[in-house]
Each structure stands twice: as structure tokens, then as C-alpha cells.
Amino acid sequence: MGSSDDSSATIRVRHAGRQREIEPRVPWRERVEMLLLAALGVQAFLFFSEYWFFSTSRRSPILFWLLTLAVFWNPLRNLYNWWVYLWASHPLDLRRDGKEPPLGGRIADVLTTAMPGEPYPMFEATLEAVSRLEHLNKAYLLDGGDDPALRELCERLGVEHLDCRGVKGAKAGKVNLCLRERSRAEFVLVIDPDHIPRPDFLTRTLPWFEDPETGFVQVVQAYHNLRENWVAWGAAEQTFGFYGSTQMGLNGLGIPTAIGANCTFRRAALDSIGGHAEHLAEDALTSMRLHAEGWNSTYLPWRGSEGLVPTDLGTYWKQQLKWATGMSYLMFAEVPKLFRRFDPVARLHYVASSTYYLGGVAQALNLVLPIVCLLFQVYGVEMPLSGFLVHLAPYVLVSALMHAIAQRWYTHREEKGIPWRSMLLERATWHVHLLGFVFGAIGRKVPYLPTPKEGSDKPIPWLVAPHWAIILLSVLAILWVPVHYQRIDDGTWLMVFFAGLNSLLLLPAAWLGIRGWFPGFPSVEVAS
Amino acid sequence: MIRVLRRSPIVSGIVGLVVLAAFYEVAVKAAARLVGEIWYRQVECRLVDDHASLVPPRGNRLWGMYRPEIPWNYQRYYTIADSLDIVPSLLSWYQAWGDGPDHEFKTDAVEKSTKAGLVSMVTWEPWLSAFHHGAVLDPESCMVHVARGEFDPYIRSWARAVVRSREPVLVRPMHELGNPWYGWSSPHGNSPRIQIEAWRHIVALFREEGARNAAFVWTPYDALDTLAWPGREWVDWIGLDIFNYGTMVPGGQWVDFKTLLDHQLEPVKQFGKPVILAEVGTTGFGGDRTDWWRDAFLALGNGSYPEVRAVVIFDNPACINSTGIPVDWGFSRAQGVLKTLRPLLGQAGFRRPGPGAESFSPI
């Protein structure tokens, strides 16, 4: 396991300050505010839609509808998100007595996986924390490489080491092997090796299994390396909303989803679906199957563990490709199978979540259409830029307010603020989402790779080539206008605006991808 | 009810969306209309320049032109103005009534002309057959429909667009009241009474909408049209269209500018309004164009037509006339015309470029 240098290194856990953590509850006043704001948001959305569809600005029908997909994708998903937010609840909010249920003597096994090449100090830190967990029955390390150093570490810490060489099905395969052959506890916590659990992890999650129909309990997945650079921060930022308002909303709706990194399962639930699902998006598929089987789930907005988030674009994109491919594959292959067994809310949610990466298509259209329109002087819409902006402004304002309000339910004060990094990163990931969507659609296999735990600063020219192509073509298309056009009219100004905005938003990631070639430039660090 | 909504998040979501959409359709739109109306009345209407500023001081005249590429391109117009050594003031173009995009008030064209220091005269032709909805296909007495208010939304939309353009605009609806070529003319059963009613109706709507910057140009075709005079308070300018067809038609004859103008001007002098020669042109059949134009501006320069405060040259080298024959009304193509006229225009009251030229700028 790792080189000998690694053993002397230690994992730096940079705590963001536990005293600034929040375990959000949702008082009725906040719920009413959210409801009013969502109502206002729908008005703003209709205001913009009416302008887009019913002003006399439509031109070529094909371009118009493609452009509509590009422009409306995000607002439509936002409407869905707002609806989810309206149901946001802490599990305590849903209990009549408002008290946490008793622990009732429940204990759990903890399963961690290892793959060759992952750094030794990481396991040292994680397994030490695991062995200190309260209400721990037995801890297992499922080692895909049978590393002697890890075996020795396990022995020292009282963790059972399981040789999992040659076990298929990646993480889930090992988990299932362990469940079949070793673990006998009623509850199991599956935790990623980069996630350091707090001693009271099980003390907080196990009480929520009081309801015999509860299949799993999910907590927040927090990160301790997010201050490393803006990619890390941005990648983490994308999850803040998910672990805040979205999962809390799903909790209120009764279907919070399981996340691979730190979910506590009821063994009987996993058994009922034939074990942990083995899939690229194994956590999502496991959730789906459990919900289809009729199990409930609970989401506790509490930071039970802290792990690592990708710190460089290459790693981040690899992770995103895995998720995007996995989720779109689920959309095409699994959701239709399970659809009839879901309850109505689960149907809506799983269709919505599995189509998330269709956004890659919308994004690509968003980037390409302005270039096509400008270069070939064709029009999808011809509305004045001012009209477009004026009609979009109320929606943008409300969604910003909505975002600000939803931030009340984030679990740490440092998460609050304008999420510009995640917005830039999301924009820059269009090609990966697009590719993932296509891979999922054609059923192409992407190898399951555990997300690398160490960042690198190497240039990744091929991964940012599409960005540079879009930027250059957009600039070219904009310059083409004064050279070639007889008259610059409304439709052209709008497309010039889109093309210009697109290039600006792609620039940071495009630059980051080739920054390694220019060592003289300082790296972009997150100001703390 | 509430319990059902709470138990079924999807039903409550859909019900919520329907309620919100209905609210938008009823309340938000009403509120938006109200706010828009207040904004229009209290802000936009106050920003308007009164059209009275258009009338130049006594002894001065505005120069204007119609050309096929106007209002989108002024290149040629500027070249002509340079050759004549005058400052151009007016642009003239033509628009038919209708509900398509081509029939909307050309706000962008007016904005462009304003930036160039030019005032637009729009000859606004009520071809009621050009509407997709509510078209009147039979020209017989068709202006009754305008007087009855059937085209009010369209007229009001123009009035508001005129207000929003802020600068003075010459609006010339129903021009050549007696010309049988046009559907709104008296030969089509639009009696003087109908024409007066329709005219007053249009002007009244513009006034209701606060279009103080719209100057209405009333254009008769022959002496009989004085019967259709709507009254002093309903007209701002009188327009006269002066054309010499020469011997183009059998039995036709070459008529000089002065004769044509006297013939048209005499009946309308009594109304006491500033006169704009809204279209002036001559063919080359049976005479010399250059002579005709020279005589015209000599006549304008000798002080006998103080009422005429603006002249718009009809410079169209390939105009299709009612017989379908293309007629050359070209003014500027013959270099001789421009050279001959250049020294005469100052005397005729047209503005020369140079210091002090802005003293009676209409904008």
C-alpha cells in the first residue's frame, strides 16, 4: 500500500470550526417565507415564459425550440427544486413529541473499502476514528489489494481485515461479500476510506431506525479539504445545496436518497433487494431499489463525517463522468423497470434526479447555438437584449433570494455565500455531462474507479480543448458580426450577448486546465 | 382539503401551480397593465416634444426627400444635400395599415433619423384589406369602419409608439383624399362626411394617448376635397402633392410647377395652416426636367408662397404608376438639376450648412 514516504505523512484534517456548525430545523415561519417566495418565483417564471413564447420574436422553429431547451432547462429544474424545498424538514420536525427516539441498544458494523494505490495515512486516520465509534459492533476493512501494511494496521486497531482481491462489482461487491460471509449485525454503516467519522456517528443515526420500516439513515457528507483551491471549494459548494435544502426536502417527502460515502443501512433492507446494488451509480440505485421495495429513509442534517473532495479539474471531471454515466444509465435502464413500484413522489423524484445530466445537452446547445446563429446569420428568436434581460430579471432575482433563504438549512456557516465557484464549475463541466449522458444512453461501460484522493496540477489540454474551441469560436462569431453584417439587429445582439457570456464563464476552467504550462503564474487559492 | 394536500405533495404541487398560473393570468397581468399605464401616462407622455416646434420661422423652409432606400439608408440623401449645399430636415416614407410586423410604427427607423437630426414624415395608408383579423375587403365606404372604432387598437398602438419615440413626427394618414387609386378616397363611396369622421377619430385617439409630438398632415387631391376639411383644430399641416406627368398620357401636357401649385394651393389657403409640399416631382415627357425644377425653386424664392413651409422631393427613378408603367420621377440623377438648383435654394429659404444653421432646427 503506497510508497514508504507515505507512511510518514499524515492526513491533514482542516476543521472549519465545529462551533460554527448548524443542525438546521425548519420553523413554520421559514416554511411560509419559502412558500411565498416560491409563489413569487412561479410568477416571475411565467412572466419570462410569456415573453419568450408569446412575443412576436420567434423565427426558425427548429432553432427556436433548441434554444428554448437551452434557456429553459435550468429554470424548469429550479421549479422542481423549489417544490422539494417546500417540504424541507429535520427528522425532529416530523415527530409529534419533537424528541429524538431512544437508541434501544442498537449496534452496527462498519464497512470500509480499500483499493490499491490509495494513501496509507488516509486509512490510518479513518480506521482510528472508526475503531473509536460508540455503539460499534465490529469494523471491517474490505481490501481490494490485500496490502500487508493495511493488514498490520487493522490488527493494531482491532479492525477485521478482509481480503477482497478479485471481487467484482467494485465497492458494492466487497460490501456484499462481507455481508454474506462475515458481518452479522442488524445495522451496517458503509463509509468511504477518506471519511473520518465522528465518535458519536452511530449514536446519532441508530435511534432513527426506531421505525421498523426505515431502511437507511443518511447524514451530511462534509469535506475537510475544501479550502485547498477553488476547484475543491466549487465541487464542495455543489453539494451544499444537496445536503442542505434538497435532502431535507426529500426527508419531508419521505425519500431522502442514500449517498455511498456514509450511509447506515438496515441489514434486512439490503437483504430484501439482494444486497447493495453493484453499479456505477450504486448509491442511487440502492436507494431506488429500497424505495421501490417500500422501505422508508431518514436524512439527518448533521455532519457525521468529513471526507475529501476533488481538488483538480481532471479528478473532478472523472468523478462527474462516473456519476453522469451512472445516472443516465439508470434513467434509461433502471428507472423504467422500477417505475411502477415507486410511489408517486418517488416516481417524480427519480425521474427528475436521473435526468439531471440531460443538462449536459442543454448546456452544449447553449454554447453552440449562439455561434451557429452568428456565423450563419440565422435566428431562433429576435428579441431585444434589453427585453430579454428585463423579463428574465425578476426570475433571476427570486431564484437568488430563494438560494439565499435555502442557505439557512446549510450545515455550516462557512457554506453560506454566493456560490460563484460552483456555478463556474458546473458550466465548465458541460462536456463531461454531455459525454456521460451519451455513454448512459448507448450503454457504454465506464470503468468504476474510486475517486482519486490526491490532486495534481498537471495540464489537461485535451480535457479543456472543447472549452477553448467554444471560446475561440464564440469570439470569432462575435467579431464576424461587424465585418459581415449589413445591419446589427435585436436577434444578433442577443446572440452576441450569449456568446460573450459563454466565453467569459468558460474562461476560468479553460485557463486552469493549461495553467501547468505557465509555471510563472500563481495558482488560484481560495481566500479564507 | 388541507390534509389531502399535505398528504399528497404532488397533487398539492399541481394544484399550487394551477392556482399560481391563474393568479398570474388575472392578477399579475392586471397589475402589470396598471403599472404600465401609470408609467406611460406619468413618465412617457411627459417626455414628448410638442410638434409645434416643427414649423420653421417665417421665410424659412424645411427640405425633405423621399427615396426608395429611406428610412434605412441616408447615404444618397446626404450626397444630394451636399451637392445642393443645404441641410436636410425631413425624411419621407410610406407605410400601409395592417397587423403584421411591417405595419407597426418603425420605432427603430425614427430613432435612427432622430440621431441624424432628421424628422420623419410617415404617409400612413389605411389599406384596410391588409389585416389578418378584421380586414375590410370592400373599399366601398370603408372608412366608416375606422370612424366606428373597429381599428382603434391598431391606431392606439401607433399613437403609443409615436409617444415613445418622443421626437416630433409628421403623420399623414389618408393622403390624396380624392385619388381613385386609394381605397379611402371619395370615388370609393367615402363621402366627405365619412372622411371627416374617420380623420377626427384617428386624431382624437392620438390625442387621448398623449401623442403631442404627432403633427397631422391633411392632404387633399383636388378642389372638391375641401369639402372633407375636418376643421382647424384637427389638422396641423396641409399637404399638397405636386406632379407634372407631362405628355406621358395621351392628351397630357407639360405643366409648370407654379401652375400646379396655384391650382392646388388656392382652395386650401383659406384654412390658414402651414403647407408642406409632401410630394413634388416631374417626368421628362414633353419638357426639360432641369427647367421645371429651376422654375419651381425660382417661384418658391420670389416670396409669393409664404404658406409653403416645407418641400419634400419625390425622388424615385422607378415608380410604378396606376397603369403599371414604370415612371421615372428621378430628381437627383441628372447632375444638371443639382447644379442648377444649388444657387437658388438659399433664396428659397432652405437652410445652408454652417454656423447658425441650427437656429431653426426642428429637433
Flag whether pLDDT at A455 surpasses 80. no
Please check whether residue B119 lies inside any domain of the structure. Answer: yes
Q: What's the rounded Cα separation, in Å, for the pair B122 and B113?
A: 12
Is the pLDDT reported for residue A222 higher than 60? yes
Are B10 and A56 within 8 A, CB to CB?
no
Q: How far is B214 from chain A, CA to nearest CA, in Å?
A: 26
Best residue in B5, B7, B24 for a mutation probing chain A (most A CBs within 10 Å): B24
CB-based contact (8 Å) between B132 and chain A? no
- Pair (B26, B162) in one structural domain: no
Tell me the residue range of the domain where B22 lies. 9-42
Query: What cell was used for B253?
Result: 401636357
pLDDT of A526 reads: 42
pLDDT confidence of residue A299: 96
pLDDT at position A273: 96
A253, B9: Cβ pair inside 8 Å?
A: yes
Average predicted confidence (pLDDT) for chain B: 92
Question: pLDDT for B1-58, tens place per residue?
Answer: 566 776 788 999 999 999 999 999 999 999 989 999 999 999 999 999 999 889 999 8
Taking the model in full, what pTM does it have? Answer: 0.78
Q: Is A5 exposed, middle or buried (0-12, 13-18, 19+ CB in 10 A)?
A: exposed
- The pair phi, psi for residue A514, each rounded to 5°, is -115, 10
Among A25-29, A472-476, B150-154, name the one with the lowest average pLDDT: A25-29
Highest mean pLDDT among A166-175, A451-460, B160-169: B160-169
Higher pLDDT, A33 or A447: A33
What Cα–Cα distance (Å) separates residue B15 from each residue in B2, B22, B37?
11, 11, 32
Q: Is residue B209 part of a domain?
A: yes
Q: How confident is the model at residue B325 (pLDDT cuts 50, 70, 90)?
A: confident
Per-residue pLDDT tens digits for A363-398: 999 999 999 999 999 999 999 999 999 999 999 999
Give yes or no: residues B92 and B224 share one domain. yes
B289 and B209, same domain (yes or no): yes
Mean pLDDT of A505-528: 76
Q: In terms of CA atoms, which chain A residue is nearest residue B10?
A: A345
Cβ-proximal residues to A59 (8 Å cutoff; 6+ apart), any chain: A378, A379, A380, A381, A382, A491
The model's pLDDT over A243-299, given as tens digits with 9 standing for 90+, comes to 989 999 999 999 999 988 889 999 999 999 999 998 888 999 999 999 999 999 999
- Regarding whether B119 and B25 lie in a shared domain, the answer is no
CATH number (domain holding residue B273): 3.20.20.80
Tell me the chain B residues in contact with residue A39 when contact means C-beta distances shorter than 8 Å: 16, 20, 23
Residue B85 lies in a domain: yes
Whether B359 is covered by a domain: the verdict is: no
Q: What is the mean pLDDT of residues A74-103?
A: 93
**A178-214 confidence digits (pLDDT tens):** 999 999 999 999 999 999 999 999 999 999 999 999 9
Identify whether B26 is part of a domain: yes
Quote ipTM for the complex: 0.82
Residue B3, in any domain of the structure? no
A441 interfaces chain B, CB cutoff of 8 Å: no
Span B308-318, mean pLDDT? 93
- pLDDT at A169 exceeding the cut of 60: yes
Q: Please indicate, yes or no, whether residues B25 and B122 belong to a single structural domain of this protein.
A: no
Average pLDDT, chain A: 90
Q: Are residues B144 and B225 in the same domain?
A: yes
pLDDT-based confidence at residue A480 (cuts at 50, 70, 90):
very high
Query: Does B34 share its domain with B105?
Result: no
Q: What is the pLDDT of residue A449?
A: 62
Give the nearest partner residue to A344 out of B10, B16, B23, using CB atoms. Answer: B10
pLDDT computed for residue A6 by the predictor:
40
Q: Are residues B126 and B166 in the same domain?
A: yes
Helix (H, G, I), strand (E, B) or coil at B174: coil
pLDDT value at residue A522: 60
Q: What is the pLDDT of residue A1?
A: 35
| CA-CA-CA-CA torsion sign (A471, A472, A473, A478) | positive
Whether residue A527 is predicted with pLDDT greater than 50 in this model: the reply is no
- Say what the pLDDT of residue B101 is: 86
Q: Is the per-residue pLDDT at A525 higher than 60?
A: no
Confidence (pLDDT) at A448: 63
Domain for residue B355, yes or no?
Answer: no
Determine what percent of chain A is predicted with pLDDT higher than 90.
72
The backbone torsions φ and ψ at residue A134, rounded to the nearest 5 degrees and listed phi first, read -75, 150
Q: List, as one string, the DSSP characters of A86-118.
A: TT---GGGG-SS-SPPP-TT--EEEEEEE-TTS
Euclidean distance between CA atoms A368 and A183, whole angstroms: 53
Same domain, B29 and B151: no
Which is nearest to A265 in space by CA: A100, A95, A91, A109? A109
Q: How many domains does chain B have?
A: 2
Q: Are residues B38 and B58 in the same domain?
A: no
| A28-54 mean pLDDT | 94
Query: Is the domain of B90 the same as that of B35?
Result: no
CA–CA dist A388, A460 (Å, integer): 37
pLDDT tens digit sequence for A390-428: 999 999 999 999 999 999 999 888 888 899 999 999 999
Strand partners, A386: none
Lowest model confidence (mean pLDDT) among A33-42, A307-316, B179-188: A307-316
Q: Do B88 and B32 fall within a single domain?
A: no
Would you state the pLDDT for residue A528? 37
The answer to the question of residue B4 being in a domain is no
Q: Give the range among A72-81, A231-240, B285-294, B322-331 with minimum mean pLDDT.
A: B322-331
Block residue for cell numbers 442543454: A362
Is 70 exceeded by the pLDDT of residue B363? Answer: no
The pLDDT score that the predictor gives to residue A3 is 38
Q: Kindly list the residues from chain A whose CB atom is less than 8 angstroms away from the CB atom of residue B21.
A: 42, 46
Burial B252-281 (b: 16+ CB within 10 A, else e): eebbebbebbeebbeebeebebbbbbbbbb
